[in-house]
Amino acid sequence: QVQLVESGGGVVQPGRSLRLSCAASGFIFHSYGMHWVRQAPGTGLEWVAVIVYDGSNKYYRDSVKGRFTISRDNSKNTLYLQMNSLRPEDTGVYYCAKDWGPADTRPENWGQGALVTVSS
């Protein structure tokens, strides 16, 4: 079965960087698009970024463009989110999610999330 395990969360000061990883198993990783979705405490879901199956196309929400980079290593079945210039409003649980197909259709399966806290 599909398994997605996020890691790399923690407490970081504003302006600093953090890299999240998502280890995937139970499906053919290189055949699917992958998403990052976050959720600030007590609020709704917020889509962050998507990368298509081969990494050739990436899309970001406006508020993270230029600061966050989504990438993938298909040889390691791993998705990444490099987060730079972090702000307090980036605080939340970050979920990785497998897309329905190879590109950018919809998140289908979700991990359990990694908590990122941006605070001085």
Partner 1 sequence: SYELTQPPSVSVSPGQTARITCSGDALPKKYASWYQQKSGQAPVLVIYEDSKRPSGIPERFSGSSSGTMATLTISGAQVEDEADYYCYSTDSSATRFGGGTKLTVL
The nearer residue to partner 1, 90 or 104, going by C-beta atoms, is 104
Q: How far is the CB of 61 from partner 1 (least distance, A)?
A: 6
Distance from C-alpha of 37 to C-alpha of 120, rounded to nearest angstrom: 24
Residue 32 near residue 72 (C-beta atoms within 8 A): no
Residue carrying structure tokens 């987060």 = 83
The nearer residue to partner 1, 82 or 109, going by C-beta atoms, is 109
Q: How many residues bind partner 1 (CB under 8 A)?
A: 22
Residue 57 near residue 91 (C-beta atoms within 8 A): no
Q: How far is the CB of 13 from partner 1 (least distance, A)?
A: 27
Smallest Cα–Cα separation from 34: which of 82, 81, 96? 96
Considering the rule CB under 8 A, would residue 65 count as an interface residue with partner 1? Answer: yes
Residue 63 near residue 48 (C-beta atoms within 8 A): no
Determine which residue in the list 1, 41, 56, 62 makes contact with partner 1, applying CB under 8 A. 62
Would you tell me which residues interact with partner 1 (CB under 8 A)? 37, 44-47, 59-62, 65, 95, 100, 104-113
